[in-house]
């Protein structure tokens, strides 16, 4: 959709202007609240890419056995490890080797599929690890089903020796693969991991109205995962979530019947202000600011999100125990000031780890070693 044309048309037509406003707001809100399986990545699925360049397409300028040169953009210069994707291929790129006025050369670590041609358009994404805990991380695991209130929820269970389990909840814009980078750290610490699906995910029951609800309904699926873990012998539970998955974790922590058995939370890029998240996702998709504000209002109305309840979560009023808050000061979806405010208000429980220069929910990509070390240091005392 060409958002500028839609907004211009809406402002040019006096008659029926209210209807146009509603249509624009509803269309924009769907960027954030439409429930459904995460799409497989394509070159043009930039609204789902945490490493998207807003100014120009990313193209291959040259490719060798150990490096690849890309168009110079904010994304191609970003520090860390990312996936490079194109139709029929996937690669992992590492550190920047050289940066010139027009091109950026990065280390080429792994490559699969047909190599891209010079001049081909590609996408830089956080999806470094693909597959499942076995193929991606070399870990023994089992496919299990968690019985949710709407039906079975597919999950990965990675066994380990300790009695404290970690339940991992991905962002609705992603899928279970988002949790893969955290699994080796948890396994080294001896923590069993359960990576659960939620309603609307691939293979899981759909949301009854086809919408996501900012965790307001999805937290029941996390509660079902907690119940699964308890019935399987878990003693205590650590909840771990990304983006809106982190917001869902916060709701579950506040309302769970097993709240007393929650040992801690890990929140990666948590959405603490739903309106800001809708505006941020809209901006990423190229939506003008006015239409983005309409989308935020429409999302609130369509989902019936509990604004007061969200504010209570953002204040940290219902934190059950020690909480690791991982965030980027440059996050365009979940503003840094919300995370900093939460850490300040609940300094008794919250440890804030900043990852400068990272995109939303792509913190591990920006600094894999630092991310894993902060996770290890947080978890070790509460094992």
Q: Please check whether residues 207 and 334 belong to one and the same domain.
A: yes
Q: pLDDT tens for residues 65-95?
A: 999 999 999 999 999 999 999 999 999 999 9
CATH number at 93 reads 2.40.10
Q: SS3 for 202?
A: coil
DSSP secondary structure letter of residue 176: G
pLDDT at 131 > cutoff 90: yes
Q: SS3 for 80?
A: coil
108 lies in which domain range?
A: 51-125
Q: Tell me the mean pLDDT in the region 317-344.
A: 97
Tokens linked to 338: 């919300």
List C-alpha distances in Å: 217 to 77, 148, 190, 199, 249. 39, 11, 31, 9, 11
Rounding to the nearest 10 degrees, give the CA dihedral for residues 35, 36, 40, 42. Answer: -50
Structure confidence at residue 22 as a pLDDT band (50, 70, 90): low
* Boundary (domain end) residue, out of 125, 144, 171: 125
Q: Is residue 27 part of a domain?
A: no
Side-chain half-sphere CA neighbours of 247 within 13 A: 29
Q: pLDDT tens for residues 258-271?
A: 999 999 999 999 99
Characterize the bridge pairing of strands 58-63 and 121-125.
Answer: antiparallel
In 3D space, the residue among 365, 322, 360 whose CA is nearest the CA of residue 338 turns out to be: 360
* Number of domains composing the chain: 2
Q: Please check whether residues 103 and 57 belong to one and the same domain.
A: yes
pTM above 0.75, yes or no: yes
Q: Please check whether residues 67 and 160 belong to one and the same domain.
A: no
């Amino acid at each position: 959709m060409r958002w500028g044309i839609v907004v211009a048309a809406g402002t040019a037509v006096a008659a029926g202007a209210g209807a146009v406003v509603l249509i624009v707001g509803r269309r924009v809100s769907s960027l954030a609240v439409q429930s459904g399986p995460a799409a497989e990545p394509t070159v043009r699925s930039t609204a789902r890419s945490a490493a998207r360049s807003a100014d120009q397409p990313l193209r291959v300028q040259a490719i060798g056995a150990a490096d690849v040169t890309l168009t110079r953009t904010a994304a191609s210069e970003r520090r860390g490890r990312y996936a490079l994707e194109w139709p029929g291929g996937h690669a992992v790129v590492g550190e920047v080797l050289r940066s010139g006025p027009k091109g950026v050369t990065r280390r080429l670590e792994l490559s699969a599929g047909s190599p891209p041609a010079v001049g081909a358009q590609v996408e830089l994404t956080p999806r470094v690890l693909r597959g499942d805990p076995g193929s991606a991380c070399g870990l023994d695991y089992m496919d299990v089903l968690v019985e949710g209130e709407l039906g079975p929820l597919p999950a990965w269970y990675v066994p380990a020796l300790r009695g404290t389990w970690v339940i991992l909840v991905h962002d609705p814009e992603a899928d279970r693969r988002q949790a893969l980078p955290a699994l080796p750290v948890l396994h080294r610490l001896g923590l069993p991991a359960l990576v659960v699906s939620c309603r609307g995910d691939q293979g899981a029951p759909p949301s009854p109205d086809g919408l996501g609800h900012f965790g307001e309904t999805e937290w029941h699926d996390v509660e079902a995962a907690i119940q699964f873990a308890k019935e399987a012998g878990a003693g205590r539970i650590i909840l771990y979530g990304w983006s809106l998955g982190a917001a869902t974790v916060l709701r579950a922590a506040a309302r769970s019947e097993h709240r007393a058995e929650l040992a801690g939370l890990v929140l990666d890029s948590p959405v603490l202000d739903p309106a800001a998240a809708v505006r941020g996702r809209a901006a990423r998709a190229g939506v003008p600011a006015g239409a983005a504000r309409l989308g935020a209002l429409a999302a609130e109305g369509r989902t019936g999100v509990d604004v007061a309840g969200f504010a209570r979560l953002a204040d940290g009023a219902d934190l059950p125990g020690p909480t690791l808050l991982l965030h980027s000061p440059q996050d365009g979806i979940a503003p840094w000031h919300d995370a900093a405010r939460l850490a300040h208000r609940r300094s008794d429980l919250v440890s804030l780890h900043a990852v400068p220069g990272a995109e939303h929910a792509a913190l591990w990509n920006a600094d894999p070693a630092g991310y894993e070390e902060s996770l290890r240091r947080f978890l070790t005392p509460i094992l």
